[in-house]
């Protein structure tokens, strides 16, 4: 499946305006982080990581769409930024250019 196909499917499931998508992203981020906490510190996986990651990706996809960006465009922009900032890769104690 391509991102465009996924985005088009998401548009059929959308539940509100951009503000709803932003709030959904924030809420699902918390749920994903909570799942990581349970796995790492409580040593009990609930098996919900993939579910929460999928919910997070839904809201992220809708926000990108609403702002007029494609996933490819955002990934390429991020790669260029990080290549400039960390030309030799990130390492603890390394400087940001």
pLDDT in tens, 23-75: 999 999 999 999 999 999 999 988 899 999 999 999 999 999 999 999 999 99
Question: Do residues 52 and 35 touch, judged by C-beta distance below 8 A?
Answer: yes
Nearest to 7 by CA among 56, 78, 71: 71
Please state the rounded mean pLDDT for residues 9-36.
96
Can you say whether the dihedral through the CA atoms of 31, 51, 8, 64 is positive or negative?
Answer: positive
Supply the pLDDT for residue 96. Answer: 64
Q: What is the predicted pLDDT for the residue at 97? A: 57
87 C-beta neighbours (distance < 10 Å), count: 9
């Amino acid at each position: 499946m391509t991102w465009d196909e996924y985005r088009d499917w998401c548009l059929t499931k959308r539940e509100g305006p951009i503000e709803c998508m932003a709030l959904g992203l924030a809420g699902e981020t918390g749920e994903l982080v909570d799942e990581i906490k349970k796995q790492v510190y409580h040593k009990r996986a609930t098996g919900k990581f993939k579910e929460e990651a999928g919910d997070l990706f839904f809201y992220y996809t809708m926000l990108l769409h609403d702002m007029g960006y494609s996933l490819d465009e955002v990934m390429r922009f991020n790669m260029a930024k990080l290549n400039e900032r960390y030309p030799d890769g990130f390492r603890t104690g390394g400087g940001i250019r």
